[in-house]
Amino acid sequence: MSRPSAVALTATAWGLGLATTCLIVGTPYVLFRYHDPSLHLVLDSVDACVALLVAYLLLGAFRRSRRLEDELLAQGFLLLALAGLVGTALPVLDPAAGDPRTLAVWLPLGLRLLGALLVLAAAMVGARVPARRAPWWRQPGPAATAVLVAVMLLARNHLPVALDQSAPPSAHRPVVEGHPLLLTAQALSALCFLLASVAFTRQARTRSGELARWLGAACALAGFARVNYVLFPSIYSDWIYTGDLLRTASYLVLTVGAAREIGRHFAAQAQVAVLDDRRRLARELHDGLVQELVYIRSAAHGLPQERGGLPQQIIGACDAALDEARSAIEALGRSSDEPLGFVLHRAARQVAERYDEPRIVVDLDDSVHVDQHQLHTLVRITREAVSNALRHGQARSISICLRREGTTRRLVVEDDGCGFELARLSESTGYGMTSMRERAEALPGRFRVDATPGKGSTVEVVW
């Protein structure tokens, strides 16, 4: 099943945000606020926890990449998490003189605005700008937060009232009222998130991370949540608004992205462990089995030739065993991102090294891509075809051609050896041709052999 693209995710989020906003502006018949103090507390706590999780993942990405984008994003989501926790705790912990909710409104609002600005800054710098080395207190997030908290604490008794709370909020129409700083902060946050949504979506086309693919959609929902906060200023801790629901939806999108990023990380860790084990096994085969076979082969050269051809039989068996062992070592130690053409050329050269320096001519299209199973199959077919041409056909020149023809891919191994009669091929009990045919059909593909006595042979695989 194909996964949705970043553009599709972001477009869906923009559609949802626009539809919700138009609904509350255009109709007076839908209830847009609900009195539920417990649910409001739960949503704030869940949102803060998700923001902390995303910040943690981004900090890990920053330690690996040292990119300024990851650093700013981590700081931005850390501030958003801190704002949620502060907004939940301050009404209980700070029964200040005058309006007891004043500091509990302005401090989270300021932290959320700083977080939105850092998210936008991360989207604007892109993925190629390295982070500068500086102590944590000189980083933009911690420095701005320290200044904001100091100003708020010093002016806590002189902060303006954000919104008159003497009457409950309107249920059926937007109320664009409140202190100008309150509305301005929400509007700036909305603009930051909406611009960041577009920027992250554009960047996701060139980035492979799962979280990067979902950031655009999450920022779009967060931006429209702030638009709804302008329409219904969200300072009533006991009330749930459409803005609260859109904000929580943005964090749910981030949760999906974070979960997929964690799954991708563990899958990559498992793959690294498998590759390390395969390389270890390849080293053991090279340092153990291959060295013993080389010793047996060299010892067989010293045996008397009067023993009915036994030394040559031993040497031939050692050559075949060495070929198999080296093929296994090459498959175990192969990197998954090597081009197919390069791998096939190397495999043919490794087989040819055991013979009297035959000429290998290659015409390989590196744009042909296959999965790991197909790569292993094509390497084994190439090695078998080259080995047959050199061992049985006494070829002096071998041509290997890999081509793409529309949706079809074709591998051809051609030699100038002595060839053979095709009529005798079906009578042969040799396993080499049977093995190549079965491997080709498992690609799935077609296998064909063409040969003429005295004029060489051709092995062709089409898939």
Predicted local distance difference test score (pLDDT) of residue 236: 56
Predicted local distance difference test score (pLDDT) of residue 97: 40
Q: What topology is assigned to 6-271 in CATH?
A: Rhopdopsin 7-helix transmembrane proteins (1.20.1070)
Contact in structure between 84 and 44 (CB atoms under 8 Å): yes
Q: Where are the alpha helices (DSSP H) in 207-339?
A: 210-231, 242-284, 291-301, 310-333
Q: How far is CA 276 from CA 264, 279, 376, in A?
A: 18, 5, 18
Using 50 as the pLDDT threshold, list the residues of the chain that sit under it. Answer: 1, 97-98, 100, 429
How many CB atoms within 10 Å of residue 311? 18
Predicted local distance difference test score (pLDDT) of residue 170: 56
Predicted local distance difference test score (pLDDT) of residue 1: 45
Predicted local distance difference test score (pLDDT) of residue 337: 60
Structural domain boundaries in the chain = 6-271, 334-463
Predicted local distance difference test score (pLDDT) of residue 430: 56
List pLDDT tens digits, range 105-149: 888 889 999 999 999 999 998 767 777 776 766 788 888 888 988
Q: Please tell me the distance from the alpha carbon of residue 215 to that of residue 158, in angstroms, as a whole number.
A: 38
Predicted local distance difference test score (pLDDT) of residue 98: 41
Look up the CATH number of domain 334-463.
Answer: 3.30.565.10
Q: Residue 355: CB partners within 8 Å, gap ≥ 6? A: 390, 391
Alpha carbons within 13 A on the beta-carbon side of 216: 25
Predicted local distance difference test score (pLDDT) of residue 429: 46
